[in-house]
Each structure stands twice: as C-alpha cells, then as structure tokens.
Structure 1
Amino acid sequence: MSIRTYIFALLTSLVLMIAVILSYQSASIFVGSFDKMTQRMMTGIAKQYPEQGKVEQDILGYHVTTDWQLVPQQVRDQFSQESIENNILYSKFVGWVFIAPPEKAYVLMAFERDGKKIFISLFNENVREHVAKKHQDKGIILDPMQEIILVGTSGLIIFVLVLLAIFKKITVPVESLQAWGKGLTINDINKPRPDFRFKELNAVASLMHDNLVSVAESIEREQTFLSYASHELRTPIAVIRSNAALLEKVNPNPSDNERKIRDRIQRASLTMKSITETLLWLSREGDTDMPIETSCLGDLVQSTQNELIYLLSGKLVTVNIDTDETQVDIAVVPSLIVLNNLIRNAFQHTQQGRVDIVQRGNEVIITNIEECYEEGVEGANETQANKPSDNNELGFGLGMQLVEKLTKQFGWRYTTTKLDYGYSVSVFFS
C-alpha cells in the first residue's frame, strides 16, 4: 500500500466517523428538542385546562380531560392507564424508519392539579399525508433526518474532493521526484536538478544527487586505480615470466628442490597474469569495443588448460579434453578471461574425480564430477566448481562475477547446470 492510499483511507475514515457521530448527535438533539417542546406545551395547557366545570376540552389540537375513559380510544389502545406516571411524556411512533416521517404518532402526559388527574393527549394516524399536504407547494419534501444525513454526506464529499486536490498538489511532485530518482544515472549528474516545488522534496533530491556524485567519484577513482595497477603490474609480471623461461634454457635439468621453486614461480606468474587481466577488465566498465579476431577456439581452450594444469598437482583428477579446429570470430582477450576463470574454478574445486572439457564449434562445455570413497561406502560431495564461491584464493573470488559480466556484455550465452555430484557450465561464443 502506498503512503498516498494509506493517508487518504485514514483521513476519509476519520471524517466519515466524525460525520456519522455528528449526524447521530444532531438527530438525537432534534428528537429530544421535539419531545421537550411537546412536553412544555402540554404542561402549559395542563395548568389552565380543562376549565372549571368542564371534563374535557380540545386546545390547539391537544385533547385535555380529567376522565381516562374520555381519552381518545386510539391513544388508550397504545398506553395502559396503570403505567402512566405524572409529568412524564409518553410517545409512540408507528412505521418510523428514522429518515422518513412515521405513519402514526401518539403522545400522552398525565398531570395532578387541584387533586384531579388530568390527561393530555395528541395523535395523528396520517402523519405522512399531513406532511405531504403541508409541503405540497414546495416541491421536494425532505424530512429533518434526511436533511441531517444530506448535510453530513455533502460535508464528507466536499472533504474528499478537497483532500484529492491537496493530494494531487503534493503527490505530483513526489511522483516526479520518484521518476527522476529512478532514471538518475551517473551520466546525469552534471545536468541541472529539477525543482520539485517543496523544500523537503528538493532537499531529498539534493541528497540523492550528492550521493550519486559521491558514488561516481568513488567508481572513477576505483577504475583509475584498477587501470593503473593492472598496467603497472604487467611489466614486472612479464619480467618474472621471461626470466623463469630463461632459467629453463640456462639450466634445463635443475635439482628437485630447484624444480619445485621454479614451478611455484611459474604458477604464481600465471596467476598474477590472470589477475591483472581481470583487474583491467573491471576498470573498463561497459567497454565492449574490442577487436574481433578469427581464432581457433579449440587452441584457446587447449592453451588455457595447459596453463592451469598445475592446479591439479597432487589430486586424483582426470582431465578429458575434446576440441575441434573450428575457426570463430571472437574478442580473444575477453574469451580467454572467461575460459581461464571457468577452467580454473573447475580445477580448484575438484579434489577427486574428473573434469571434462568439450569444445564443439562456438560452444565450450566444462563439467566437473567429484567422486569420494570412504571405507567401502560410496558417497559424493557436491562441489562448488563453475559457480561463484566464497573461496577467494589468489584473488579469484571476483572471477565468476567477471565471467557473468563479460558474457552479458558480448551477448554470449552462459548457463550453469547443477549435477548430482558436480556442475556443468556452457558458454556459446556467438
């Protein structure tokens, strides 16, 4: 529920409740005033009538008598003499529906004067016809109760219309602020900020704009840093790799300990190379303007697998690779980054089992199966390969995010499938 709907419903309900209470109070006051006026009139008549020597009289439409049997039969049928107390007004309305006059009305009071009991009564068994004749020249006849309800309803309608007008005046700038904020991008931070009429809304707009400016500056600083860092690291990494290769030529048969040291240097340099390429791409947000080259996708897969095979050292993992000679037109560097991250993830997270790498045409499918055996009981531990994980070894926690980013930017179809004992990913380099 929106704030607008909530406030509108709340205020409308409140005013409706007030209108009902006031209408009921007005109706009660009207009925009470009618009773008091009638009681006062009958009390005044009882003090003077019936005159001396008379048993009954008709005064201003009221019947006055000292004999209960002379009270009009219609009135006696409605009230019991034994239940009548002095100075109390008794009234009865037949067919009264509150918003219209009753069909019949009966009124009775008893008084004590000079030791005699006086009965004053009034009745009308054609109230509606009487009211209609009285107002026949006025056209529309409105009962006082109808007037009260009409006034209350009119007040409620006027309030709702005024409330809608106020809401329109307030909500239009709010909705404009919402639309402006939703469409605000880093490219719009230098454009003038619209005026939203109210200072509170303008303050919110300024806060949104200032926050976006701050975010844009942070992103720019981060991208600049990543770009500089990746470029600066390329040179020392190239030096390390070239010197490692030179060592192999100078001394192709090192000792076992020296061989281990050389292998660690090679692995670290390859990892650093991949990290710098990843950092460089992270600094090029949204950049897909890369040269397209015709390359053998199978060769790219083979070379990437060969560079990363050291990750399986000491593991009982079998690698099955199947490629063809298909030539595809692709952006080579982004495709190498994708292949590097996917194969690396599969190798890193498979401890015992197999990794299948299949390339057919433009599609590469990498599947890892984890197999574990303990004391003759066969079980399987599901691996996290080929999907984002919490393992940020050597800085590659961002690798899978970069894969998703690159495949989305270049329109490559990328899917991940969960298997019983592993994962399978597919990339179609279209």
Structure 2
Amino acid sequence: MKRGLSLKWLVVLVFLVQGLILVVGYSFLTARYLIEGMDNIVTANMEQVGRYHLKQIAKTGINQPKQFQNYFITTDWSDLPSEVRDQFSSSEVQPNVLYKFHHDEAEGPPRILFLLHFLDQNQKGYVSYSVSRNTTSALTLENITSDFQTLVTISILSALSLALIIWLLSWRIGQPIARLGQWARTLATDKLNQSTPDFSYPELNAFAELIRTNLKSVQESTEREQRFLRHTSHELRTPITTICSNVELLKKLDAQKNQQHYEAAINRIDRASLTMKYLTETLLWLHHDRADELPMTECRLDEVIQHLVDDMRYLLSSKQVDVHIETQPYTLYLPEAAARIVLGNLIRNAFQHTWEGQVNIQQKQGRVQITNEQSVETEKEDLGFGLGLELTNRLCQRLGWHYQNEQQGNGHFVTLVFPDSI
C-alpha cells in the first residue's frame, strides 16, 4: 500500500505554516511600526529644534550654526558635519524628509545619524542628529529593550498558542474520524439495519449514513441474487425432471406403434421447455424490480391445473396418496408464467408433504383451493412451508392476488383467488 502524508497531518502542517507566517509577518510589521514611531518622534524633535533656531536668528539677526546636545542646526549645507555631507549631496536631500544611516566609528560604538531638511515660512534649515548607545539615556534604552522583549515574547506565545490550538483542533476532529474508520471496518451485516452512531459532526454523520445505506444496498442486491439463484434452481427442478423422464420415455417408445404416448411425451417436453423460459423471465422480473410488466395472455385455468398435476405426479411415486381434482372451464387474462409458478408451487408443496392421505384440488372460476390431508401423524417441521411458498408469497403480493395458507389438523388448506379480468 502506498504510504504518504496523512490528511490529518497535511491539514495540521498547512494551518501551522500559515499561522507561523501570520505571526512572523505581524511581528515584523509591529517592529517596523515601532521603529517608524521612534523615527516620527525624532523628526518632531528635529523640527522643533530647527524652528527654534530660525526664531532665534530672526530675533538676534545672527545666523551661525549651532550645536545643542546631539543636534546640529544650520541654514547652510556647507556648515553641516562632514560625516553627513559625505553621505548625501545637497541636491538629493528633499525638504521635510527624514534621512538616516549608520556610521561606524573607528573607536567607540557605532552611531545612527539623522538628517532633516525643513522649511519654515520660506526659510530653510538643516538639522542633523546623532545617537549611539553611549549617548542614549538608560531609561530610553530600557524602554526600547523592554518593547522588543515584549514583542518577541508576544510572537513566541502567539506561535505556541497557535500550535496548541491546531493540535487540539486536529485531535478533536481526528477522534471522530478515527471512530468512523473503526466503525466502517467493523460494519457487519447484522449492524446494517441499526442506526449509525453519532460522530459529533453533521458531515461525518452524513458520510457514515451514506456508507451504511450503500452497504445495505449492496447487501440487498446480493441477497436478491442469492434468492434468484435459489428460486431458479428450485423451480427448474420440475420442468427438468419432466424433460428428462419424457426423453427416457421416448427412447423406449416405438413412434409407429405408440403414437399417442409419443405425442403426449413431446407435448410434456414442449410445456416443460416453455415453463423454463417463462419461469426465468418471471424470476428476473421479480428479483430485479424490473419496470416492464409481465406479458398478459388468455389462460384456461382448468387446463393449466391439469397440466401441472400431470407434470408433478412423479412426486407421488411410491406414496399412498389419492388426488381428487374438481375443475370447470374458465378463462382468465393474466400473466400465465406467474400463474404457473404460483399454482405449480402450491401443487408441488402439497404432493411433497403428503406421505399417506389425499390431496384435493378444487377450481371454481378464478378461485383455487388446495388441501392436503395426512392419514397418519407426521412431524410438522416443514408441512406447507418452503422456498416455493416464499416465492409464492412474493409473487402474489406483487401481482395483487389473494393468497391464504392455513394449517388444519395434519395438513394445510390453501386458497388462491385470481382477479376476474376477462
């Protein structure tokens, strides 16, 4: 089996990478805003110092460069410190824009130099400012260090909390998914009719129900196929037996001297082959829920009963069973193949389960009554029941025929009523 990254860890990895990107990105953004805030403070201070110097020039009339702590103020570019002029030319410096750069000292710590070209009432000036670790107050350094430490701490805690949340989320989702997989692997036939367990999420519950219904559909399809095979093998026994016995009879008969018996055997073989054909079509229609209807034909009910009794008399060989048949000519418009299957099953069932006694078959118009009576006590383990009667029940329900099977004493009383449609 091909191994790869599981869906769970793929989701965890994607969310973790995306979360870390967001945390790192916002950390850099916060650091940038912090630096820009400090630059804005420096710019405001430099503007304030420059304007104050211009006011002093206007008041005293003396225009000379002036240095105040780390600030150097002048109105002439050439008066700026050489370390500032070496970095820029006067034409590059735009008004009201803060310029800064690092300046490495030969001795001592490196410094950051700031330059601002400002305008105030048509007067221009330049202010430079330098700052280093030695010139910065301890309180300012402490605040800056504290701010960066806070930023780093928040970033680390955010990343850890994000990882924890993703892990908890994956665990919370992974547990129901694991239970769903375990349930699906152990889903047996006896559990298909049970309701699906609760897997905490509607999507998983819907997926579990889909699995259950699909497996149930497959099981029902398999059961239909198995029933079809059982019914087919059960129903084909009679026509196959009829064909085989009549073929043997034909081998023994002389067609010239026994023309009547010869023709009777041929007719029984013909009826048996047609029975097999219609039987297969009817079983396919029944077990595959086919939408098309069975072919309807005019059927002499009394003749069908007589033919079925003749074909199944082999079941009474070596038995002391009397068969009484009472019929009257009657024609119906119905699926003859289905009628033959139902009547054949009832007659076969009566013959098979009567060892000594009598079988009474009475037909009056569309009503058929079949009774088997045992003259001796027998075990009632399978009297009147079997695979054939299961098929009879299904056909009668599907076609809307009235069917009733009652146990009476040491036998069964069966009633079958066909709808009067002709």
Q: Structure 1-normalised TM-score? A: 0.47
Q: Structure 2-normalised TM-score? A: 0.48
Greater gyration radius: 2
